């Protein structure tokens, strides 16, 4: 857990070092007041700061503001590997985030979630002391996006759908889930013969 915090903290510090946009202190990263609210919301989503996202949305930050690479706060939240990502995604959607808005390479939030949305899991191999921490697909984020109307047929600049991208990453479980998703279905049937 400390390692993840340090990586996130270091990432924010590096962003600040390269753009003079973020400062660091002895505690969590703080975003300078000189940054526009739209940029603040993007950084808050990127770093998993739910309360900051909530406050920024309350002050009328634009949940669809694009960063230079075209990523929106929703796309940024869909790339998170933290458990609170789904809370941030729900909050953004409730506040008008466009679910199918793409970035500069025509990648949507669903595409990013299909490739990058993961949660930490711990498995024991042989003995309780042999704990392996791995990332596993976060189906709850993908299901939320699909339930809220994410278009699974959209294609990126490589002419690939979200399912294609998941398959390219070697994640057949996510690819099949997306391909076989049907709105309002309570149980997904995954055909393993595809």
Q: pLDDT confidence of 43, banded at 50, 70, 90?
A: confident
Residue in the structure block whose two tokens are 């634009």:
62
Least reliable range by pLDDT among 82-86, 123-127, 143-147:
123-127
- pTM of the model as a whole: 0.71
Spatial separation of the C-alpha atoms in residues 79 and 86, rounded to whole Å? 11
Assigned CATH for 36-180: 1.25.40.20
Helix-then-strand count for the chain, H and E:
9, 4
5 pLDDT higher than 90: no
Show me where the domains of the chain are located.
36-180
**Could you report the per-residue pLDDT of 49-103, keeping only the tens digit for each?**
999 999 999 998 899 999 889 999 999 999 876 668 899 999 999 999 999 999 9
């Amino acid at each position: 857990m400390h390692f993840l915090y340090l990586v996130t903290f270091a990432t924010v510090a590096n962003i600040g070092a390269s753009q003079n946009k973020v400062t660091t202190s002895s505690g969590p990263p703080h975003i300078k007041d000189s940054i526009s609210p739209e940029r603040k919301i993007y950084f808050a989503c990127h770093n998993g700061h739910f309360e900051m996202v909530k406050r920024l949305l309350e002050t009328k930050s634009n949940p669809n503001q694009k960063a230079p690479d075209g990523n929106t706060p929703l796309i940024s939240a869909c790339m998170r590997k933290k458990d609170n990502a789904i809370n941030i995604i729900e909050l953004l959607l409730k506040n008008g985030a466009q679910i199918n808005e793409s970035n500069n390479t025509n990648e949507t939030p669903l595409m990013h979630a299909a490739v990058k949305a993961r949660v930490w899991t711990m498995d024991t191999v042989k003995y309780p002391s042999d704990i392996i921490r791995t990332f596993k697909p976060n189906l709850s984020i993908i299901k939320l996006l699909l339930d809220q109307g994410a278009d699974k047929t959209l294609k990126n600049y490589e002419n690939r759908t979200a399912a294609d991208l998941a398959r390219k990453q070697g994640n057949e479980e996510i690819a099949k889930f997306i391909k076989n998703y049907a709105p309002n279905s309570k149980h997904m049937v995954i055909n393993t013969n595809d």
